[in-house]
Chains A and B, each alone.
Chain A
Amino acid sequence: MPAGPFDQVVLPHLDAAYNLARWLTRSDADAEDVVQEACVRALRFFGGYRGDNARGWLLAIVRNSCYDFLRRHRPQELTDAFDEEIHTAVEDTQTPEALLLRRADRAMVRQALETLPLAWREVIILRELEGLSYTQIADVAGIKIGTVMSRLARARARLQQLLGSDATREVAR
């Protein structure tokens, strides 16, 4: 296949697409299926793409494909995320003990990320791993900037909680 706009614009962001799908689905095989479907979708809508931010555009399609996939195969994950959002207080988890998380190793961090509710996990991945700005995250996830900020704060508080307390146990042993 000759190098068309698809090869030039979409394929360079395949890692970003896979990383997002892998974190949202938490499965290698599912992530591959979702990315393939998303790329096919991206091609169908290629005429709708105006060209200033190919990565964000592709990530938005991947994100929607992940949600479609989860809605079909694991609908409970979508509702879990929603409930947790209502019931979590942010302030009381921001304690200095969380400093201990410096000791947290990679496996613990990965595990903590995987336990985050879907809606928080996606903003954390887009912010910390993809380095997107709040505006870009809002575009990809189809949410308001205020929601991006509150989800980030909640997600980080939860990570502090998970990693801080685990690390504390580690030290006490």
Chain B
Amino acid sequence: MNCSEVRSLVHAHLDGELDLVRQVEIDDHVRQCEACQAIYESQRALSSALKTDGLYFTAPASLQRRVRAAVRSMAEPSRWWSRAFSPQRLALAGAAAIVIVAAIAGPIVSRRSHDDQIAQQVVSAHIRSLMASHLTDVLSSDQHTVKPWFAGKLDFSPPVVDLKDQGFPLVGGRLDYVENRPIAALAYRSGQHVINLFVWPSTSSADVGESFVGRQGYNALSWTRDRTNFWAVSDLNATELRQFAQLVQDRSSGG
């Protein structure tokens, strides 16, 4: 190994990234070559200078308390839920009443409240994406950049279409979390309005037509097609959001 090869591998050697054969070759060379030895030693000195105590910032105790509190307040709804419905607190009569009601109205109510719950979740996710300035993880108007970005991050590949020519340019994509699973969120713009399109696989093979809800001043439009759930959420008016949804459906089908 000559000097320039050795010098190009000094870092990898000190970082323990080389195979044994090359490690030994470098050690041999460094032992015989003063110039390379000086470089090697100075890099090693730097590494050990960086490992001195006092450069590592440990989290203050107050931070641990803060994070705990923040995490706890996020977990609150489910805590309330589990407390209210814990066996200790539920009178047998109450449980029986629920069972009876569920048996009668179950199929309708559960479907409805399930959709309600998702609507709440996607609207919240939409608001959060605007609040935290965390609209996109991958910032690109190119559908061929955004789609592959999701590979390896999700167990499905969301259809990604750019609708720039139709007035809804793609801004990017990010991961979000809805219905207890990571999902794809695609961000589009329409003028100053942001549209979040949430996409995840459906558990049933049945297509479901468009359904519309308004919540907290936002409009949400959902449909299921080709075993995929779509939720478009925006502060756009209902007509334009429908137009957007129609375009997505036209362009996604078959692709």
Which of B51, B56, B181 meets A47, CB within 8 Å?
B181
Within the assembled complex, what's the spacing in Å between the Cα atoms of A109 and B51? 10
Q: Mark B45-78, 1 if CB is under 8 A from A, else 0.
A: 1110111101111111011101110111011000
Q: Mark A23-46, 1 if CB is under 8 A from B, else 0.
A: 100001001100111011101111
- Whether a CB of chain A sits under 8 angstroms from the CB of B17 is yes
Q: Are A40 and B177 in contact (CB under 8 A)?
A: no
Within the assembled complex, what's the spacing in Å between the Cα atoms of A160 and B46? 7
Within the assembled complex, what's the spacing in Å between the Cα atoms of A153 and B75? 44
Task: Give residues of chain A (49-65) contacting chain B, Cβ–Cβ below 8 Å.
Answer: 64
- Whether a CB of chain B sits under 8 angstroms from the CB of A92 is no
| Chain B, interface residues (CB within 8 Å), range | 35 or more
Task: Give residues of chain B (103-145) contacting chain A, Cβ–Cβ below 8 Å.
Answer: 132-134, 137
Q: Are B12 and A96 in contact (CB under 8 A)?
A: no
Q: Are A102 and B49 in contact (CB under 8 A)?
A: yes
- Whether a CB of chain B sits under 8 angstroms from the CB of A83 is no
Binds A, one of B25-33, B36-44, B84-92, B228-236: B36-44
Which of A17, A32, A45 meets B60, CB within 8 Å?
A32
A18-B57, A36-B66 are known contacts. Are A47 and B49 too (CB-CB below 8 A)?
A: no
Within the assembled complex, what's the spacing in Å between the Cα atoms of A156 and B187? 39
Q: Are A160 and B50 in contact (CB under 8 A)?
A: no
Q: Are A64 and B59 in contact (CB under 8 A)?
A: no
Which chain A residues have a beta carbon within 8 Å of chain B's beta carbons?
Answer: 1, 6, 11, 14-15, 17-19, 22-23, 28, 31-32, 35-37, 39-41, 43-48, 64, 68, 71-72, 94, 96, 98-99, 101-102, 104, 106, 109-110, 113, 124, 127-129, 133-134, 149, 152-153, 156, 159-160, 163-164
15 other contacts beyond A96-B35, A96-B38, with CB at 8 A cut-off? A1-B79, A11-B67, A15-B56, A15-B57, A32-B62, A39-B71, A43-B74, A44-B176, A47-B182, A64-B137, A101-B49, A134-B17, A152-B11, A160-B42, A160-B43
A-B contact pairs, 12 of them (CB 8 A): A18-B57, A23-B57, A32-B63, A36-B67, A39-B67, A46-B177, A64-B137, A68-B132, A109-B50, A134-B12, A134-B17, A160-B46
